Amino acid sequence: MNTKIARTKKWHKQQTEGTPYFIYGPCRGCVQWFKSDRVAWFCKHTEARAYLDQKYMLELAVLYTNRERKQRGYIKKLYNNWQKQIALKSKELFSEIDALQIKNISDRDLLKINNNIAEQSFKMYDQFFMDIYDFDADTLMNKYLVEENISLKSKEKETMVMQNKYIVHQLEERDLLRISKLIISNKKAKADLKKIRKIQDIKLLDKYLNISSAINKYQANYFWTRNSWAHTTFVSKMQIIKSLQHLVFEVSDVNQRLARLENYKADIRKQKKSIIHKHSMSIWLKDFFQLMALLTLWRDDRKAEMQKTNHYLEYIGTEIARRSKIKWTDINTCDPLAIKSIPVSNSLIKKHHNLFAKKYVLLWNGSKVVHCSAEKSKKLLNIFEASFKADSTKVNGMVACQGKVTAKVVVIDKKSEFKKMTKGAILVANNTRPDYVPLMKRAGAIVTNEGGITSHAAIVSRELGVPCVIGTKVATKVFKDGDLVEVIATHQGTVKKL
């Protein structure tokens, strides 16, 4: 990619808080999947960004959709292969690690495990990049609807692209509600739950075997759900107890919420069947919406694998650091695949620290992934960023979930800012991830720079029923904390200062 060509293109940006130990491999995997210089990534110590040629993304979305139309089930096969190569293999690897006495294994075995996890992290993005549909899914949908002379209401569109199976946060909430229901049905357990104020108090629930067993199982299944590209946080028993206390003592419709979640799959199938029948959809149009629903599910699966993988990368990386007589924070700016010996050498740490202190852009050079020179990287980044021009008072985007809301803005770019979120505020972010779900539940509306109708923000906002405008590109530049804005998520998404 030369700078002259870069200036002629319209760029889309993906940006996230992240540490190189977690995200550098996936960045390289992403560039390798595209095998094109129309995609660029760069990592720093605390964040990573992708710049994607919008026209190229459009071309790829059309290409893969046409393949699906000609070879029914083509993308489902890609998804099934991803499940085998990534999700299933990772599960087996994680189980092996859980069974180990990690401090007792040899340095050689520890390095091998670290390499295997890092390879999985790389391959997670080397299989398929469903984000290509962020740019064109809505346009493609409308094209196929016009072909069949069908007009769907916005709510019908939202329903048709919803996943047919549970996503992680639905499973997590369903299981928490089930525990809440057990407690509510037992007056003594309910009274003991209310008494819990500190960790030692949790033993008050030990005498209720079904409840304590359910809490242990919940923690084992979802301990990783607050992880991100930048941080890992093991969900503690006390956090679970606080969530249960909120549901048991502050929420009046636990049974209704649980019933709604437990009936989700049957209800969504019924709703889709009704819409399909009402509009006499062709086999292809049904297949297209099935594809969108699959991509929605796959997107959530990928995020879940990222969260689990990063837990184990840090778990193993921390042991490597201990044996090297350094801290985890001393090596988390390294590429884990570059760690070949213990103790980790100071020269390797310094090399990667310097690499990620500068803005080296990752590109495909025609045969492999390479770093551009510092000078060229700087020029490219200036060109990329200059392409994102913003109105000073409003932004436009795609509607992920309908509604109108007027409230004050809270801009959140990183985990340390989560505490700013207030109930009913407009959550404005680059994107959302699973660790954002508690914030999204409190939001009056959600606005993101990134995303399409299969993105995390779109998936979760539809399920929560929170008005959401995605793909604005510049919302985090236009709005600041405390701005009073109106979110109009109807036919077109508009967010404007008042």
pLDDT at 362: 92
Domains of the chain: 3-132+296-386 (no CATH), 168-264 (no CATH), 394-497 (3.50.30.10)
Tens digits of residue pLDDT in 467-479 = 999 999 899 999 9
| CA–CA distance, 283 with 98 (Å, rounded to integer) | 46
pLDDT, tens digit, 9 for 90 and up, residues 27-55: 999 999 999 999 999 888 999 999 999 99
pLDDT at 470: 93
74-82 helix and 54-70 helix, angle to the nearest 10 degrees:
110
Residue 359: alpha-carbon gap to chain centroid? 24
Q: How confident is the model at residue 347 (pLDDT cuts 50, 70, 90)?
A: very high
Per mean pLDDT, which range of 306-310, 386-390, 455-459 is the poorest?
386-390
pLDDT per residue over 182-204, tens digit each? 999 999 999 999 999 999 999 99
Confidence check: pLDDT of 229 > 80 = yes
Distance from first CA to last CA of the chain, Å, rounded?
A: 42
For residue 346, how many other CB atoms are within 10 A of its CB? Answer: 11
The stretch 425-452 carries a mean pLDDT of 92
137 pLDDT higher than 90: no
pLDDT at 452: 84
Residue 491 has pLDDT above 80, yes or no: no
Which band of pLDDT confidence, cut at 50, 70 and 90, is reported for residue 388?
confident
What was the pLDDT predicted at 99? 96
**Contact (CB, 8 A) for 360 and 377:** yes
253 Cβ contact list (under 8 Å, min separation 6): none
